[in-house]
Structure 1
Amino acid sequence: MKKTRVISSAMLALVFGAACNDNFLDRLPQDRLSDATYFKNENDLRIYANRFYTLVPAQTFNSDNNSDNFVPRDRNTFLAGQYTIPNTGGGWTWTNEREANYFLARYERADAPAEVKAKYAGEVKMFRAYLWWRKVVQFGDVTWFGGDLNENSPELFAPRTPRGTVMDTVLKDLNYAVANLPVPASAEQDRVNKDIANALKARICLWEGSYRKSRGLAGATEWLREAANAAEAVINTGNYAIWSNGNPAKDYVNLFLQEELRGNREAVWPRRYVKDQSMHNTTRQISDIWPSYSKDFVEGILCDDGLPIGLSARYQGDETPELERTNRDPRYQQLIVTRDYVVSQNADGTADRVTLPRIPAITTGYASAKYKSPDPVQWVANQSTLDLFIIRYAETLLIFAEAKAELGEASQAVIDQTINKIRDRVGMPHMKIATLQKDPNSIFPTLPVLLDEIRRERRVELAQEGFRFDDIIRWKAGTLINNPKTIVGMKLTDALRAQYPASQVAGIQVDADEHIRVYTDITNRTWHDKLYLYPLPLQEMNLNPQLKPQNTGW
């Protein structure tokens, strides 16, 4: 059984008090930590920094529901144009940012070597960079403040800082973290290190660089270069590799069903769980809900000859689920539940297997197999001990490939070093730049073929890991949501319908091509450009009129 030091929310609950002015009571609190008595040594710095470790999320089973990849039973209100401006909250909260600034204003008090203090400052600056980046992703221009505030701070009533200026500060924080965090071999176990900082920097810089490029904003090339360099720094360490046990039909799905990711070379940054100490509910939730892929996503998966379905003679059509899965990228059957999929591996050695897609419980018929453990022990509510990824090496390789392609520098050597390493796990043919053909059904018809195929590889490999909506935003590709195939499911022919009990399929409607309609009151969604940003809450804008104007369209 794995053992670890668990960083829990309970041990992070530090409350800082201020001394009273009354002479009789002018002493430090005796029952809690105070500003005046804290930040004395390395342990104080470590414990304070612990609070930020839960802020960067691991992947979750429903993290792509707000995209063209999945069709949730309840329509996503944001993409449906039904999101209303909140009165308060809505992501416009700054507690974590203030706590980071609070630390950075005081950490140098500690009686510790300069390099130790710089290490913990690097941790907190890395997390602060992440926090401010997420604010920029959500709101665009946001108010930057570099110190901890009080009720009299002028920043509370300042206008928003231009997003570019905020992102420049984010990059400075990331560079400080990379420079001051230790390499993994020297780092304390389960704490962030230089490789994690570089991998996170690569993620953020790719987002910013492609966001600027898609909108013709200055600085795109510089940010893409930073992304490529940070990803390459991780690659060049030689510390990481694509995990494989030599079983192309199972290795991809099994990567996400491991109880111990420590030592797995694909785990740049894992989130680890331990029985009776730190557990999660993802495995139970996916067993109950079974997220459903869209027809659009399924049609984007290549055939096993490396060609898209619109070009491959290997494609068998979609008259039945069995035909549709035939001759496809092996990730197809590791992402999507089809006939004979093992739902439960029973203690007596028997297995419960899928016979037909479980519609309408699975809205589209394309149930997700990712994170779905066949071990009933993992299904107990809030008792799963399967580790999850925060950053895995495949993402870093995909960042490097995309950034180099955007820069016009994606040689065959780059593709062999990245895309083809990922494909080797599942036995897919290598991508060859010289023989790439433009998909006639491409969702990016004007994109150069190499970049189009890199985006496809990213979509499939990182499905259900929480990147897709961010990708749509940074590429300025919101109109992908308009495609009717993003909200329909598998083909339900009369012949297939006849295999189900009549009562089970009586209420299921299909479109003109016999694809399951999940939302029977609409045939497509309509993208509005205001959705590239969220609105600021009304109460905050009333309290600080300098935050106006509201984001465009809201």
Structure 2
Amino acid sequence: MKKIISIAFLSIIAFGACKKEDFLDRFPQDAISEPTYFKNENDLKLFINKFYDTLPVQSPSFQSIYNDFNSDNFAPAAIDQFLANQLTVPPSGGGWSNSTWSNIRSVNYFLQRYNKAEADATTKGYYAGEAHFFRAFFYWQKVQRFGAVPWLSTDLTDTSLTQLYGPRQPHTVVMDSVLADLNFAVANAAEATNTQFAGRITKDVAQALKSRICLWEGTYRKYWGLTGDQTWLRECVTASEALINSGRYAIYKTGNPSTDYYNLFIQEELKGNKEAILARRYVKDVNMQTTTRDISNVWPALSKNFVRSFLCSDGLPTSLSTLYKGDDSLDQEKLNRDPRFTQIIATRGFSFKNNVDGSKDLMTLPRIPSIVTGYGAIKAYSPDPVQWNINQSTLDLFIFRYAETLLNYAEAKAELGEADQTVINNSINKIRDRVGMIPMVIASLVKDPKSDFPGLPVLIDEIRRERRIELVGEGFRYDDLVRWKAGKLIENPETILGMKLVPAIRAQYPAAQISSIQVDANNYIRVYTNISARSWNDKLYLHPLPIDQLTLNPALAPQNPGW
């Protein structure tokens, strides 16, 4: 009887509670719910914050699509499967899974609801500008990977059947919408001088992304024979000039041309550095990274093709300069070259580690085979042992760097036929001045007989060379080859070769250390002993759609060319 009374009493309480609080209709307590969120500015800020981790840092140690390991700049020990044409159409995933579209859906969800917040219109516009920035970035990534993709401007549900099972939109249509998003971000994001938005997406950051994307799209349309290239190139110029004319940015230099470029990428604090348009900051015990440790674990190995692209100190290519001393040794090869040579590549005297007792682990011979080509990339690598601890590094990393904007500007102006000496002085020569490299003088340029682009005007050719050197390892090279429709450069045998290992140099190593190293007929290290060159297939300009998505939604057909 006591149990019956107790149960009845509890049932009455429970029933009353349900009636009083409408318990069964309560909003979710563990997820964002429209009626309980988007109430104030802080809600808007917190919602947008989750997208910041998607921004790529420009570092050669982050082994992902954001570095150059999938290009002709590097020859990693494990051959890039995509460029080796070893990948097949995936059954699922492949960059098209639900999770890879979730950020776009989240942005659309935000854009349909942010106006509900109790904040002034200008403040809400700041966050809407950030949202449009991220949507432009996410969609550009999709277009780079797949070409034509569906354009979705609302957050779809399982009842949005027409849109969910709709077709892909043409590349140009999607990118026109991307440009609209970029322009919205530029018009509405907070000013760079707004201290409350320091470290966030501001108008200047939006201009930097616009400069990057518009150069990519403008040159893509030009070299792939699509319309509208001039419009996009002019948009790139407009965005770049806005940053240049702001006076807020400059090339970092301290008057030490032999070290300033190298030191730029191993700084504890990029806040206040005028070359940083946006950087990812790392703070001890709060947010740390592992760049130096990653580099030392698997050294990024530069290709012979990249190393040959350095000009000599007189501004001429190795094929024309009397200053070039040959490449029978790395000591010889570095002589009279662009000063960035020894700030990008480990050469004799470079300290791999500054020990706590004051001693240094100095390089003498190239460290093969741990650096498979002999050309070890040292960009963003610190000899400070404190930075060696895994996931303990506090060196800041760039997301948008002013030097890139200057290179975008120079290339866009050259493609438009408007790059005079003033343009070059305000872009390329600002970058060269950091390292004391001879200025580029248009009237003195001579076409390299071994140019990768024999059909191009010499100015565009040399601007591309400058971009390759300055931005190596920062994640641009493969995308550059795509937009220039220059995938065939992957077939150059030098892209998978290393330094020359002549008998006199080989004799300086312990035999056991290099017994496995093979060389070609000219004594260059062969990284992949089963092939003498890679074979390019035009299908590699795009990735394939996974089988399950084409099966679920036949409207996505046809599959990308060649797959």
Q: Secondary structure at the match of 1:185?
A: coil
Matched with 1:318 is 327
Residue 348 (structure 1) shift: 2.0
Identity of aligned residues (%): 60
2:171 is the counterpart of 1:163: yes
Q: Cα deviation per residue 1:427-485 (whole Å; 9 max; x = unaligned)? A: 00100000100011111111110000000000000000000000000000000000000
Matched with 1:213 is 222
2:236 is the counterpart of 1:232: no
* Counterpart selection for 2:553 from 539, 544, 551: 544
Residue 81 (structure 1) shift: 0.5
Residue 30 (structure 1) shift: 3.8
* Counterpart selection for 2:153 from 124, 146, 152: 146
Could you say what the CA RMSD is over the residues aligned between the two structures, in angstroms?
1.0
Distance 1:265 1:296 in 2: 32
Counterpart residue type for residue 536 of structure 2 = W
2:144 is the counterpart of 1:137: yes
Aligned residue runs from structure 1 range 354-503, under 5 A: 354-503=363-512
Worse-matched range after superposition: 23-32 or 421-430: 23-32
Q: Cα deviation per residue 1:186-210 (whole Å; 9 max; x = unaligned)? A: 1422111111100100000000000
Residue 345 (structure 1) shift: 1.1
Distance 1:147 1:127 in 2: 15
Matched with 2:135 is 128
Runs of 4+ in 1 over 3 A off after TM superposition: 30-33
Matched with 1:64 is 68
Q: Cα deviation per residue 1:512-540 (whole Å; 9 max; x = unaligned)? A: 11100000000001111101100001101
Distance 1:75 1:479 in 2: 17
Unpaired runs of at least 5, structure 1: 1-21
Residue 127 (structure 1) shift: 0.5
Worse-matched range after superposition: 501-510 or 487-496: 501-510
Q: Secondary structure at the match of 2:277?
A: strand
**1:279/1:24 Cα in 2 relative to 1: closer, same or farther (>3 Å)?**
closer
Q: Cα deviation per residue 1:103-132 (whole Å; 9 max; x = unaligned)? A: 001000011101111110000100110000
Matched with 2:317 is 308
Matched with 1:79 is 83
Counterpart residue type for residue 113 of structure 1 = D
Residue 29 (structure 1) shift: 2.8
Q: Secondary structure at the match of 1:167?
A: helix
Distance 1:529 1:474 in 2: 13
2:359 is the counterpart of 1:350: yes
Q: Secondary structure at the match of 1:228?
A: helix
Matched with 1:104 is 111
Residue 338 (structure 1) shift: 1.1
Distance 1:356 1:224 in 2: 45
Q: Cα deviation per residue 1:19-66 (whole Å; 9 max; x = unaligned)? A: xxx965012234544221100111100100101111111013241100
Q: Secondary structure at the match of 1:389?
A: strand
Counterpart residue type for residue 383 of structure 2 = P
Distance 2:347 2:31 in 1: 56
Counterpart residue type for residue 161 of structure 1 = Q
Residue 361 (structure 1) shift: 1.0
Matched with 1:204 is 213
Distance 1:177 1:320 in 2: 51
Counterpart residue type for residue 124 of structure 1 = A
Q: Secondary structure at the match of 2:368?
A: coil
Matched with 1:11 is none
Unpaired runs of at least 5, structure 2: 1-20
Worse-matched range after superposition: 267-276 or 182-191: 182-191
2:190 is the counterpart of 1:178: no
2:189 is the counterpart of 1:190: no
Worse-matched range after superposition: 223-232 or 348-357: 348-357
Q: How many corresponding residue pairs?
A: 533
Q: Secondary structure at the match of 2:361?
A: strand
Distance 1:164 1:283 in 2: 40
Distance 1:361 1:526 in 2: 26
**Structure with max Cα Rg:** 2
Distance 1:543 1:244 in 2: 55
**1:35/1:502 Cα in 2 relative to 1: closer, same or farther (>3 Å)?**
same
Distance 1:30 1:525 in 2: 55
Counterpart residue type for residue 396 of structure 1 = T
Aligned residue runs from structure 1 range 248-327, under 5 A: 248-327=257-336
Distance 2:468 2:209 in 1: 19
Distance 1:24 1:492 in 2: 76
Per the normalisation by structure 2, the TM-score is 0.94
Distance 1:372 1:94 in 2: 34
* Counterpart selection for 1:516 from 519, 525, 536: 525
